[in-house]
Amino acid sequence: MKLLLRLVLVLCLVVSSSSVWADSFDDTKKMFEEAGIKDMFETAFGYALFPTIGKAGFVVGGAYGKGRVYMGGQYYGDSAMTQATIGFQLGGAGFSQVVFFEDKRAFGEFVRGNFEFGADVQAVALTTSVGAKANTGGSSATASGGKNNAAIEGTGYNRGMATYTITKGGLMYEATVGGQKFSFIKR
């Protein structure tokens, strides 16, 4: 089992560090804006933007990505997201993610240190064919989304935060339990 976990972690690192997945923060923000959530960037107190998160799994899975945190549209600090999952899963994928903070309280919760989304937190998946809800852990299957042809369903804040993802590529089948954990380092 330890060998399997190591294999999954290595695959996550390779996927997330590949130049094919490389993307600038400006390009990622533009991609989300073109997907229909431009007003969220303009009205949110702050947001955390992750250009590429690599995810892989075979029974045990994981995901990792580095991002930046912005307050009032200005770069505030750095963040890293890690995720561990267990359950039926097979494959690998890469996705971009943005977490919006509605107010100072929600922003403060995130930047205090080690923040964690439980398995029950929902993320709106922006894809080419449908705007479907996808868990940060839980049952999901996603399709690749283009930069200019995404659709949205069910937007809005939950407990002061709203999370959106765009799948960049890969194929992953999963019925898992897990959550996302974020670290923060002020600039």
| pLDDT tens, the chain, 187 aa long | 554 455 455 555 544 444 444 458 999 999 999 999 999 999 999 999 999 999 888 888 889 999 999 999 999 999 999 988 888 888 888 899 999 999 999 999 999 977 887 655 667 777 533 333 334 433 333 333 444 334 344 457 888 999 999 988 877 766 666 788 999 999 8
- The amino acid at residue 130 is V
Q: Where are the domains of the chain?
A: 2-186
Q: Report the amino acid identity of residue 91.
A: G
| pTM of the full structure | 0.73
From the list 77, 92, 59, the residue with the least C-alpha distance to 175 is 59
- Count Cβ atoms within 10 A of the Cβ of residue 113 and give its class: 0-12 exposed, 13-18 middle, 19 or more buried: exposed
For residue 119, CA distances in Å to 4, 122, 135, 137, 169 come to 22, 8, 7, 5, 23
